[in-house]
């Protein structure tokens, strides 16, 4: 199994791939307890494995003096290396996987959609009369990297958000798409947010910052390589500016949401992901202006050439579902 793969090093113990997976999960969630839950281990065992990785590298990756957990400078530098190593090992496993898994339909997908949309949508397809065996390729963190999984034929389908501000460079003669649902990206903030050492009401904080140019908004950022990062960078250029300071960066929406819930700052989140937190009032709108929202499509991309009976069956079923119930 991939979890038992090891890399030999000079530290006297073997570095295990599961340590890298632990570290990436912790970076995505900013929470030892949540990451341990996702990795299906106790929190003490999870903490030991993170410490073993740090000992093996000879560097501290996580600052334990902050809540939520934050990456150190070494941790931020090591994160893309860890992601690449995990992808490499998973890619080798997929290449060598025995033929009995050949009927799995392979999806590349953005992380948020695998949590909020994919399970429900797959259930709707099965209710429509077909059962599919599926496999998810982990989100690779960047638009082009995720597209490469489809272009390079590692995946049969690519499930993604789409918006006019973020064009995809795909040959329309070789790839086709269906818009299978819609979502919205909304600026949200905790009901109370920490600013300048004190708590301030978070509701409509962006509007307050525009009206009070000296007010600096703590901002939770996606970076510049992820889909949401690109879309938001263009939205922020178009809209009336406000003073902001990036206090945390993460390509994963769920990680940013966990930070927002602590009062760390404002972040844009998919409505489908944050709906429960909005209904309970733990997260509130950061603006009364709908112009700060981004309307999103959820699209399914595929190769136009036929790719086998199971792949064609899923495409036909998805198309029929749209004809019966418009997205």
Provide the residue range defining the domain that includes 173: 100-180+296-324
Tokens 């999870």 correspond to 46
pLDDT of residue 10: 42
Same domain, 221 and 268: yes
Same domain, 201 and 265: yes
Task: Quickly list DSSP for 46-58.
Answer: HHHHHHHHHHHHT
Say whether 270 sits in a helix, a strand or coil.
strand
What is the length of the chain?
327
Same domain, 47 and 149: no
The yes-or-no verdict on residue 46 having pLDDT over 80 is: yes
Least confident of 151-155, 213-217, 323-327: 323-327
Strands 217-221, 244-249: pairing kind: parallel
User: Is 250 or 278 the better-scoring residue by pLDDT?
Assistant: 278
Domain end point (choices 95, 115, 134):
95
Same domain, 123 and 174: yes
Domain end point (choices 95, 116, 149):
95
Least confident of 98-102, 109-113, 276-280: 98-102
Same domain, 19 and 29: yes
Same domain, 8 and 146: no
Same domain, 167 and 303: yes
Same domain, 63 and 116: no
Same domain, 188 and 290: yes
Instruction: State the average pLDDT for the chain.
Output: 85
User: Is 41 or 117 the better-scoring residue by pLDDT?
Assistant: 117
pLDDT band at 4 (very low <50, low <70, confident <90, very high): very low
| CATH assignment at residue 316 | 3.40.190.10
pLDDT of residue 228: 92
Q: Tell me, what DSSP letter sits at residue 100?
A: G
pLDDT band at 209 (very low <50, low <70, confident <90, very high): very high
Spatial separation of the C-alpha atoms in residues 244 and 57, rounded to whole Å? 35
Token couple for 299: 């699209």
The yes-or-no verdict on residue 101 having pLDDT over 70 is: no
Domain end point (choices 95, 115, 143):
95
Same domain, 281 and 205: yes
pLDDT of residue 2: 35
Total structural domains within the chain: 3
| CATH assignment at residue 59 | 1.10.10.10
Answer whether 183's CB lies under 8 Å from 317's CB: no
The mean pLDDT of 262-290, rounded to a whole number, is: 96
User: Is 209 or 65 the better-scoring residue by pLDDT?
Assistant: 209
Backbone conformation region of residue 162, classed left if phi is above 0, alpha if psi is from -120 to 50, else beta: beta
Same domain, 222 and 260: yes
Spatial separation of the C-alpha atoms in residues 146 and 140, rounded to whole Å? 6
Same domain, 199 and 210: yes
H-helix or E-strand containing 180? strand 175-190
The per-residue pLDDT for range 115-154, each reduced to its tens digit, is 899 999 999 998 887 788 999 887 776 777 788 888 888 8
User: Is 98 or 91 the better-scoring residue by pLDDT?
Assistant: 91
**pTM of the shown model:** 0.69
């Amino acid at each position: 199994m991939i979890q038992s793969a090891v890399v030999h090093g000079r530290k006297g113990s073997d570095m295990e791939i599961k340590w890298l997976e632990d570290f990436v999960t912790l970076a995505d969630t900013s929470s030892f307890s949540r990451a341990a839950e996702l990795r299906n281990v106790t929190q003490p065992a999870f903490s030991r494995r993170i410490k073993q990785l740090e000992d093996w590298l000879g560097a501290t990756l996580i600052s334990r003096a902050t809540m939520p957990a934050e990456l150190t400078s070494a941790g931020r530098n090591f994160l893309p290396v860890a992601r690449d190593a995990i992808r490499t090992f998973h890619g080798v496993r997929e290449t060598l996987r025995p033929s009995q898994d050949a009927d799995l339909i392979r999806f590349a997908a953005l992380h948020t959609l695998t949590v909020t949309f994919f399970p429900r949508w797959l259930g709707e397809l099965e209710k429509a009369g077909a059962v599919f065996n599926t496999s998810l390729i982990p989100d690779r963190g960047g638009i082009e990297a995720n597209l490469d999984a489809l272009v390079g034929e590692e995946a049969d389908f690519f499930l993604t958000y789409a918006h006019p501000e973020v064009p995809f460079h795909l040959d329309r003669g070789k790839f086709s798409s269906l818009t299978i649902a819609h979502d919205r990206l909304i600026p949200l903030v905790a009901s109370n947010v920490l600013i300048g050492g004190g708590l301030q009401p978070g509701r409509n904080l962006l509007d307050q910052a525009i009206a009070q140019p000296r007010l600096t908004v703590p901002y939770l950022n996606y970076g510049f390589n992820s889909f949401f990062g690109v879309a938001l960078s263009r939205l922020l250029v178009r809209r009336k500016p406000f003073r902001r300071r990036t206090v945390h960066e993460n390509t994963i929406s769920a990680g940013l949401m966990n930070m927002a819930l602590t009062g760390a700052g404002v972040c844009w989140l998919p409505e489908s992901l944050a709906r429960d937190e909005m209904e309970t009032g733990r997260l509130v709108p950061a603006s009364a202006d709908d112009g700060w929202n981004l309307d999103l499509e959820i699209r399914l991309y595929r190769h136009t050439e036929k790719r086998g009976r199971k792949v064609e069956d899923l495409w036909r079923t998805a198309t029929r579902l749209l004809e019966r119930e418009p997205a």
